[in-house]
Chain A
Amino acid sequence: DAGVTQSPTHLIKTRGQHVTLRCSPISGHKSVSWYQQVLGQGPQFIFQYYEKEERGRGNFPDRFSARQFPNYSSELNVNALLLGDSALYLCASSLKQANTGELFFGEGSRLTVL
């Protein structure tokens, strides 16, 4: 069975640009979460979507936005990129909205902002 897939795996942008990251959850999973992991730190929660609605948002500026599509795939958008946005962006899917079980993570999209 296919796991969580993310694209692109690596990308380089310059300050002020915009980026879109994509995620396909495991088949049957209706919840998708996004996390940012800066080098040397643990993942930080950005968003959770369940049944196409935003259910939770972390402490990130409005430059960060996301959406979930009818097929439960998701996009994370970041506008006006800053150097500090350089990180590994992880997508995770789960069966339920609440985290009463494990999250299944993709391999991540590594964003470098120059």
Chain B
Amino acid sequence: SQQGEEDPQALSIQEGENATMNCSYKTSINNLQWYRQNSGRGLVHLILIRSNEREKHSGRLRVTLDTSKKSSSLLITASRAADTASYFCATDRNDYKLSFGAGTTVTVRA
């Protein structure tokens, strides 16, 4: 079973717009991570936010974490065509694995 659920399943935006996707999870976590995957290739780590953090930035990425609501959001600002990919949240419960959601597919139109 998958711990996280992303919303929306798919997102289409114009280049230069912002893209926001959300992740909800079910149990307490140690940290939450976001990964990007291009066309069924390997996953690339984007950002990690620990359970005691509320917001984190990395370049054009902004991640928030609300542990009381068991949810996280990923914001990509000023999107580019190269941001077209699937984005996955993954939760770490301080064990030996990451639990991934089903992902959000983002299409950035030129």
Contacts and interface: CB of A to CB of B under 8 A. Distances in A.
B76 interface: no
Interface in A1-58: 4, 33, 35, 39-45, 48, 50, 55-56, 58
A56 B30 CA distance: 17
Interface of A, helix, strand, loop or mixed by DSSP: loop
Interface in B39-76: 40-45, 48
A58 B2 CA distance: 12
A45 B30 CA distance: 17
A84 B27 CA distance: 29
Q: Interface size for chain B: under 10, 10 to 19, 20 to 34, or 35 or more residues?
A: 20 to 34
Nearest to B95: A56
Contacts, number: 73
Contacts of A88: 40
Contacts of B95: 56, 98-99
B98 interface: yes
Nearest to B101: A42
Chain A: interface size category: 20 to 34
Contact of B96 (A44, A55, A106): A55
Interface string B67-110: 00000000000000000000010101011111111110000000
Contact of A45 (B33, B41, B97, B103): B97
Contact of A42 (B30, B42, B48, B103): B103
6 residue pairs, one from A and one from B, having the closest CB atoms: A56-B96, A42-B100, A102-B45, A45-B97, A105-B42, A48-B96
28 contacts: A33-B97, A39-B40, A41-B2, A42-B4, A42-B100, A43-B98, A43-B100, A44-B2, A55-B96, A56-B95, A90-B42, A98-B95, A99-B30, A99-B94, A99-B96, A99-B97, A100-B30, A100-B94, A101-B48, A102-B45, A102-B48, A103-B45, A104-B45, A106-B42, A107-B41, A108-B40, A108-B41, A110-B40
